[in-house]
Structure 1
Amino acid sequence: MKRTLWLEDGTSFVGTAFGASVETIGEVVFQTGMTGYQEMLSDPSYCDQLIVLTNPLIGNYGVNREDFETTVPMAKGLIVKEVCDTPSNFRSTATLHDTLKRFNIPGLAGVDTRMLTRHLRSLGVMRGVLVDGDSTWETVQHRFDVLLPTNQVERVSTKRAYVSTGSGPRIALIDFGAKLGIMRELVKRDCEVVVLPHDVTAEEVMRYEPDGVMLSNGPGDPKDVPTALPLIERLMPTLPIFGICLGHQLIALASGANTFKLPFGHRGANHPVVELETGAVTITSQNHGYAVDEASLATTGLVVTHRAVNDGTVEGVKHLHHPTFSVQYHPEAAPGPYDANDLFDRFMQLVQENKQKVGM
């Protein structure tokens, strides 16, 4: 069946429908990773977004039960050059087409995704609609009159607390749209993980007597999550805090800094980041459309620790007076390299040092 992607500037890309037979609207973003379409599709940070994959062949190793990053994907759609209907991999349990149908997500194949990516790089990310059958700009233009929602974090966050038991430190994971990869890394280090909703208060967190706090990734504009700021401000002097992606941006906002929207974001599995203290360059997995304004950090107590090699934007900060640090990229990868995985070990060391300090 014919399916068309219409962008809000009037540009159209015509291809073939796969996945669910639904029409939808979302923010069109591109991802440059060569593999990991299942993890991308199920990453809560892609809530309300139409994902354009630049790799030309998608679906060739199928979908399996283990690699989901959330139980219910919230992406609005998937746009590819060519979709494979006959995957070949011993772990595969379903095709990409069947998986999209299962979660009611439409797909579009047969379009020049690299041309589309160049368009978005030139003009910036924008909203798009997927429409089935014949359509014209006149028939779809009115669909852009409605703004996209701003409650993505509320929709992807857990609604109630739950615990993953372990014999090590107790970590409070604040779920702003956490990938399961973060949980896996904490469990791998024998942590007892208490997963808490995005709007939890500092008092509620402290009732669990955690040894450290993890602020997760998540979708949307960090300024749409105001309830997190007093939480972070209250906990920073008390407990070690490690923020990832959205968690990193929220630490900056809670400290008095500012964030801004990038023209087309960082989404891929090969973004180089330099650690300023050592000069070491790490290849990282990234997925964000907003960044911390470095000029606004001057009076916050935060200093830049990591910087993106490609565009110089802030990729990591630490607090000069509190046991708090954060990175804009994904040390848990999935998909992507594990070059930055040692940041979880640094967090564990910070937790142990704080426990010893408190016990003295």
Structure 2
Amino acid sequence: MQKAYLKLKDGTIFSGILHGKANVCGEVVFNTSMTGYPEILTDPSYNGQIVVMTYPLIGNYGVDIYEKESSSIKATALIVKKLYRGPLPEGKTSLEEYMSKGDKPILEGIDTRALTLHLRDNGSQNGVIYLEGMEAEADKILSTFPKITERDLISEVAVDKVTQSPELSEGFVAPPTNPTLKAAVVDYGIKYSIIDDLYQRNCAVTLFPPTFKAEDVLDKGYDLLFLSNGPGDPALLTQSVEEIKKCLKKIPIRGICLGHQLLTLALGGKTVKMDFGHHGGNQPVKDMITGKTFVTSQNHGFMSDEKTLPSEVLVWMRNANDNSVEGIISKENNVKSVQFHPEASPGPHDKNDIFDEFLKEL
């Protein structure tokens, strides 16, 4: 443990104690979840980001092998107010040990509430974690580090070749042996739980890399094209958007999170970067068709720009806090997508039935 600092792009500095390596840089975002840190850290959508947990005590139930959304930690670093070091149930690994084995640092002791308020008021931004006396070197790293809108984060977390019936880690269901549906899933950094939810509904999954071609999935026996979650700016995925456009009206298309944003672009709309995004398990969303409101898990820094959506696109869901678009439907193109995470992991399962909604008309 060493004295260390977090310096934000705007020059603001916070002090703490470092566990692990220094001179790491990434976009600093805050997450309002009280629990679920193992899933958060292994969620590929957090690739390239330094995650600040707003809840003051993190790690009190350790880490279990079942509580992960990919094969490894994807977040760049973790910032907490206090790291739990007490007893744990048998078979659990401490969060500190888990992060150390993954070669990812924890910065402890920062006033995370103050940091969160700063990010809320000034926006998510790049930051660097450095040791005492190393500020000059840290400044060099921070000054040249690209913005998240300039980084290819997806190639680091997505498959690079077609993968049939991907096996998940222990604790998830196995691929169905006699599937009733077949999904071509474009992997931009998909979470295990999304695949698991498809498997639970007897839907076979074939993963395609982000560089997929429309001809790879059309007229190949697939019942739907599914666009996954993932990190970074959807506007960078111009090739993928063009291939999605070729699939419109030819196959049912469903999307979650980044997949929702890519469908926004493919339908002719635009996406914009949010000031600090939605990250946490307590985001209220209203279904504009039924009028019902529910609580969702979310993790995104970009959103659909509603004023650019074509007239035939229906705003299906809205965030009850800021009225932003949380889901769209295009009947003309057989498209449905949501910005939030119906699989949760972590978070509430209020809208896990979205998967049933996605599949029921196929």
TM-score, L = length of structure 1: 0.93
Equivalent residue number for residue 155 of structure 1? 156
Would the alpha carbon gap of residues 346 and 91 (structure 1) be closer, same or farther in structure 2, given more than 3 Å must change? farther
Alpha-carbon displacement from aligned partner over 1:89-141 (angstroms, at most 9, x marks no partner): 3552x1111111122111100111011000000111111000023344x5532
Q: Secondary structure at the match of 2:333?
A: coil
User: C-alpha distance in 1, partners of 2:82/2:160?
Assistant: 37
Count of aligned residue pairs for this structure pair: 347
1:102 lines up with 2:79 in the alignment: no
Counterparts of 2:248 and 2:331 in 1: how far apart (Å)? 11
Decide whether the 8 Å contact of 1:240 with 1:350 is kept in 2: no
**Is residue 315 from structure 1 mapped to residue 315 from structure 2 by the alignment?**
no
Question: Matched residue of 1:185: which SS?
Answer: helix
Among the aligned pairs, what percent are the same residue? Answer: 40
- Paired residues of 1:273 and 1:281 also in contact (CA < 8 A): yes
Q: In 1, are the aligned partners of 2:268 and 2:310 still within 8 Å (CA)?
A: no
Corresponding residue for residue 238 of structure 1: 250
Is 1:140 aligned to 2:138, yes or no? yes
Within the alignment, does 1:195 sit opposite 2:196 as a pair? Answer: no
What is the alpha-carbon distance in structure 2 between the residues aligned to residue 61 and residue 208 of structure 1?
45
Q: For 2:248 and 2:53, how far apart are their aligned partners in 1?
A: 38
Could you tell me which residue of structure 2 aligns to residue 226 of structure 1? 238
Deviations 1:300-325 (A, max 9, x none): x3210100010010000010312210
Q: Structure 1 pair 223/11, CA: closer, same or farther in 2 (3 Å)?
A: same
Other-structure match for 1:32: 32
Q: Secondary structure at the match of 1:104?
A: coil
> Are 1:12 and 2:23 matched, yes or no?
no
The letter for the 1-side match of 2:294 is T
Alignment gaps of 5+ in structure 1: 352-360
SS at match of 1:85: coil
**Corresponding residue of 1:255:** 267
Deviations 1:164-218 (A, max 9, x none): 2422201111101101110010011111111111111111123642111211000
Cα distance in 2, alignment partners of residues 251 and 341 from structure 1: 20
Q: Which runs of 5+ in 2 are unaligned?
A: 166-174
Cα 1:202/1:298, change in 2 over 3 Å: closer
Q: Give the 3-state SS of the residue equivalent to 1:127 in structure 2.
A: strand
Letter in 2 for 1:62: G
Q: CA deviation at 1:49?
A: 0.4
For residue 248 of structure 1, give the secondary structure of its aligned residue in structure 2.
helix
Q: Secondary structure at the match of 2:276?
A: strand
Match of 2:124?
125
Deviates more, 1:337-346 or 1:160-169: 160-169
Return the offset for 1:84: 1.3
Cα distance in structure 2, aligned partners of 1:21 and 1:151: 23
Listed as ranges, the matches of 1:243-322 within 5 Å are: 243-299=255-311, 301-322=312-333
Deviation at 1:2, TM superposition (A): 1.1
* One-letter code aligned to 1:141: D
Q: What corresponds to 1:355 in structure 2?
A: none
Maintained 8 Å contact 1:23/1:106: no
How many angstroms apart in 1 are the aligned matches of 2:97 and 2:218?
A: 43
State TM-score, norm by structure 2: 0.93
Work out whether residues 323 and 350 of structure 1, in 8 Å CA contact, stay in contact via their aligned partners in 2. no
Q: Distance in 1 between matches of 2:115 and 2:195?
A: 34
Q: Residue type of the partner of 2:217?
A: V
Of residues 323, 332, 342, the one that matches 2:353 is 342
In the TM superposition, what are the counterparts of 1:57-76 in structure 2 within 5 Å?
A: 57-76=57-76
- The residue identity in structure 1 corresponding to 2:116 is T
Structure 1 partner of 2:3 = 2
Q: Which amino acid aligns with 1:163?
A: Q
User: Which deviates more from structure 2 when the two are superposed, residues 219-228 or residues 139-148?
Assistant: 139-148
C-alpha distance in 1 between matches for 2:73 and 2:253: 27
Residue type at the aligned position of 1:150: R
CA contact (8 A) 1:22 1:104 kept: no
| 2: CA distance, partners of 1:338 / 1:21 | 36
Q: How far apart, CA to CA, are the structure 2 residues paired with 1:230 and 1:91?
A: 47
